[in-house]
Amino acid sequence: MDGWPRAILVLSLLAASCGFGRDFSLDLNARAYFESAYLSSGGVLSYTEPVAEQYAVVTANLWDYGRLWFDAWVCSALNDQTDEVHRRYGYICEDTLMYGYDWDISDKLKLTTSAGALWDFLFGYEKETDFPVYWYAHQYLHNPYLTPYWNGLGKTEGKGKVRIRAGVQHAFLPFESLTITPFAETTWGDKARFEANYGEEPDNDFLGGALMFATFGLSAEWRFADHWYVWGRYRQYLVIDPQAWDLVENSDSPTAETHFPIFGLGAGCRF
């Protein structure tokens, strides 16, 4: 891992070491859930059949120094849709190391900034695969009305372009134990990954300056005990770039869909 991702890692560890001995706390959030399909961050419907996912994050709150966290996500297929590509159980694991800081601009306005590195571990693939490393960053401008946000992801080396997602969301609390968050977002996707799944044509120049797809929907969390919650999410996926739409329409991939609903349901705990 070269360049600024390594610098972020070093600075994050230094920040963590400075935090010890002062006000310091550790938080854990873990969740297991199912989704009716899997949508990659690059805009590819990897599955249009159910998948099982597990997610866990450990956060070190450094108070005046921000926060440092490490998370892991594992995905498993529950069908034979891509058995010829890779194994079903735990075929992909993503690990992320991030450092974040909050800036209170005013009483009602807070900017949350995070940056770090993401590792993809791909297991059981028929073709030889590498374990790519990505830079990863995101920002949220929290306010009482409508929170805009963006996040970016890109390979530190090798083939693959940057993926940038931007959207808005707002959290409602109809009850103290229930949070409902509608959202809408669009993505400048990874052209190389998209064409690897749906085909490549010489005259395609989308992503030379186009937003590839959009998602909108809502997520909900019901906290039914001190440390336990039920989580659910609905997303509607829609290809919005005309050239990307044509590629998907003409593809013989079993996951080629120009629009698709995705439902998720699971449970988790926080400590």
pTM summary value: 0.85
Q: What is the pLDDT of residue 139?
A: 98
Lowest-pLDDT choice from 68-72, 169-173, 247-251: 247-251
Say which residue, 62 or 192, is predicted with more confidence.
62
The pair of structure tokens assigned to 71 is 């998370």
Burial zone of 235 (CB within 10 Å; 0-12 exposed, 13-18 middle, 19+ buried): buried
Q: What is the pLDDT of residue 6?
A: 53
Average pLDDT, the chain: 86
Q: What is the pLDDT of residue 8?
A: 47
Return d(Cα 90, Cα 76) in angstroms, integer: 5
Q: What is the pLDDT of residue 58?
A: 97
With a cut of 50, say whether residue 220 has pLDDT above it: yes
Residue 44: pLDDT band (50, 70, 90) is confident
Mean pLDDT calculated for residue range 86-91: 85
Question: What total of structural domains would you count in the chain?
Answer: 1
With a cut of 90, say whether residue 11 has pLDDT above it: no
Domain region containing 155: 4-270
Mean pLDDT calculated for residue range 53-63: 94
Contacts 24+ apart (CB under 8 A), 228-231: 228/267, 228/268, 228/269, 229/267, 229/268, 229/269, 229/270, 230/265, 230/266, 230/267, 231/31, 231/33, 231/264, 231/265, 231/266, 231/267, 231/268
Report the CATH number that the domain containing residue 224 is assigned in CATH: 2.40.160.40
Q: What is the pLDDT of residue 251?
A: 84
With a cut of 90, say whether residue 73 has pLDDT above it: yes
With a cut of 50, say whether residue 1 has pLDDT above it: no
